[in-house]
Amino acid sequence: MKTFQSSYCKLFTSFVLLSIFIAVAIGCSGGDENARSSAERSGTTADKIKVYFTEEGKLQAILYASRIEERDKSTFGWDIDVDFFADNDTIPDGGMVADSGIVKKGRGRRKSEVSVFGNVHLTAPDGTELFSDSLRWNPRAQMIESNSQVKIVRGDEVINGVGFVSDASFKKIRIKKVSGKIEQ
């Protein structure tokens, strides 16, 4: 089974690729000149998005969004839902939902930063669930971060806290201000 780290990194790469896809798709579409010049001034928008991401012919993720908009050097998404696939192309191994998200494109050697906001729910293949108001992918540290309140559920264990840092596989999790209950 591929690691959740691989799938989670692909999610954030998916946002970057999706923004490029939107720019190309809308930029290449026809339409009247007034609509095109208006889009150039305000950004590029696409509604009801469903994008399949594959690697070597195998399905890795499906990203759904009700709306994607590209403005300046950022891509915004709303009603985000991502299914991750590792072993089987028809049954998701994990996923993430969020009310919205943003990709801030990096310049030069800086990598793109991705953040998701509002009712964030992330599910790992091992069943671990994370709930938060926001998450951010730190590309330099290759870590998932949040300064918001978080809840992590793994089996019967529930950990609550404020502030969160984890590797993408959820193997090394650090909660800054922790509270919780572990039963044996």
The tens digit of pLDDT for each residue in 148-169 reads 999 999 888 888 999 999 887 7
**Domains, the chain, with CATH or none:** 4-181 (2.60.450.10)
The two structure tokens encoding residue 23: 């720019």
The tens digit of pLDDT for each residue in 33-82 reads 444 444 444 578 999 999 888 888 888 888 899 999 988 888 899 999 98
What gap in Å lies between CA 68 and CA 78, rounded to an integer? 7
What gap in Å lies between CA 120 and CA 36, rounded to an integer? 34
CA 37 to chain centre: 30
The two structure tokens encoding residue 17: 């690729």
3-state DSSP call for residue 168? coil
- pTM for the predicted model, two decimal places: 0.72
Q: Are 152 and 175 in contact (CB under 8 A)?
A: yes
